[in-house]
Amino acid sequence: MLLEGKKLLVTGVLTDSSIAFHVARLAQEQGAEVVLTSFGRTMKITQVIARRLPAAAPVLELDVTDTDHLASLAERVGEHTDRLNGVVHSIGFAPAGAFNFLEAGWDDVATALHTSAYSLKALAVATQPLLQRGSSIVGLTFDGSYAWPVYDWMGVSKAAFEAVNRYCARDLGPLGVRANLVSAGPIRTTAAKSIPGFQAFEDTWGARAPLGWDVNDPVPAAQACVALLSDWFPATTGEIVHVDGGVHAMGQ
């Protein structure tokens, strides 16, 4: 029971193939209480998927680019729990135009950066009133160290996201709050399917991974998130844990 007695806010649960869904599921199995977020047209989908969790979980509306949603988040979460011991950031979006690096306009790039990078800081600040000493913020990334095929401005956003995490670690550390990321290999989620040419990752990743890789299995990444949410990493912050079969460590 790694998370016994802990109370968590988990964003990004859309389908039962999403990493966030399995973070919520495993967290409940490990003793945590979970509150979920969703927004807009996806709210009803998240509410349906939430019924597949081991225990009922409330779903709050949260658009991380909406200042009103962020300003009221702590109060709304407070209607379901008196504190938070962990927050999971599993949010990313880029308009179609952002997947053409040289031709992308600033409006598309700005949307990608706001939703996929700045939102980590925004979520941390919004939940800070409820976060206890010893709390853990965990985000999901896709290795921002490289210029990947087809990823384009979403790749830039992930690099920015990883930088934002380091600054969150710096500024939240004195408050006793850790900030870490899990860098997962490609998982066949709804978000991944919306990326033009995503199959390029699927076709080559398993061959490059020393441990092999299953694009249909989000559980290993979810398990890493749960571990980072637990008390077993009390002195780890600003870190990126790679759950990618080992691809990050290999040359071409």
CA–CA dist 158, 250 (Å, integer) = 20
8 Å CB contact between 187 and 140: no
According to DSSP, the residues that pair with 89 across neighbouring strands are 139
Query: Exactly one of 6, 7, 121, 158 is catalytic; which is it?
Result: 158
Going by their DSSP bridges, the two strands 178-184 and 59-61 should be labelled as: unpaired
- SS3 string of 67-96? HHHHHHHHHHHCCCCCCEEEEEECCCCCCH
In whole angstroms, give the CA distance from residue 130 to residue 231: 18
Q: Closest by alpha carbon to 12, among 167, 131, 187? A: 187
Establish whether 146 is a catalytic residue. Answer: no
List 6, 7, 121, 151, catalytic entry: 151
The answer for residues whose C-beta is within 8 angstroms of residue 209's C-beta and 6 or more apart is 185, 244, 245, 246, 247, 250
- 140 - beta bridge partners? 182
- 156 CA to centre of own chain: 16
Catalytic residues, which ones? 151, 158
